[in-house]
Amino acid sequence: MKEIITRIEIRSNPEKVWKILTDFQLYEYWNPFIIRVAGSPIRGEKIEIELRTAAQKTRVYRPVMTKVDPPTELRWYGKAILPLILDGEHIFTIQENEGHNVIFTQKEIFKGLGAYLGNARMFDDIRKSFQMMNSSLKSRAESNE
């Protein structure tokens, strides 16, 4: 198992951050990492996600929404075509802190052989991609839109 976790503080409220995070149709306009999502944030729904990493690698995944708990948590789980190669659970959490701001956490839990065989460069690219998305989400949530 391999985990990648990133966090960012956002001067906003959980409801606004949730609204931005779950409005998949607008991702192409603000999200530099997850550039397209086809589907809806409904538990059990299979969605299609197109990613562009910080290193400009593109991939398409078809995970299933596993948790939709407004305005605090969104999760999806994806499996590789071949069993036990590389499965991943992507988790977003939105937590209000004492300063009435939000701590946004983005996390991926990788399981399977790929989690052990993946190289440091790949995992670093994913971490940078999360940070890019987090920064863009922060800018959008803190704006007056």
Question: Is residue 135 within 8 Å of residue 14, measured between CB atoms?
Answer: no
C-alpha to C-alpha distance for 98 and 27, rounded to whole angstroms: 29
The single residue listed with the structure tokens 């052989």 is: 113
The single residue listed with the structure tokens 């659970």 is: 89
List of E strands, 11-121: 34-38, 48-52, 58-61, 64-69, 73-78, 87-96, 102-111
How large is the angle between the packed helices 14-22 and 120-142, nearest 10 degrees?
120
Cis ω before 71 (30° cut-off from 0): yes
The pLDDT of residue 144: 72
Task: Assess whether pLDDT exceeds 90 at residue 7.
Answer: yes
The pLDDT of residue 145: 58
Fold of 2-142: Alpha-D-Glucose-1,6-Bisphosphate; Chain A, domain 4 (3.30.530)
What is the percentage of the chain residues whose pLDDT exceeds 70? 97
Domain ranges of the chain: 2-142
The pLDDT of residue 117: 75
Instruction: Please give the average per-residue pLDDT across 57-64, as a whole number.
Output: 95
Tell me, letter by letter, the H, E, C secondary structure of 3-21.
EEEEEEEECCCHHHHHHHH
Render pLDDT for 73-130 as a digit per residue (tens, 0 to 9).
999 999 877 666 889 999 999 999 988 899 999 999 998 877 777 788 989 999 999 9
pTM of the model as a whole = 0.94
Nearest of 92, 66, 62 to residue 80 by alpha carbon: 62
Q: Which has the minimum average pLDDT: 32-36, 65-69, 122-126? A: 122-126
Max CA distance (Å), the chain: 46
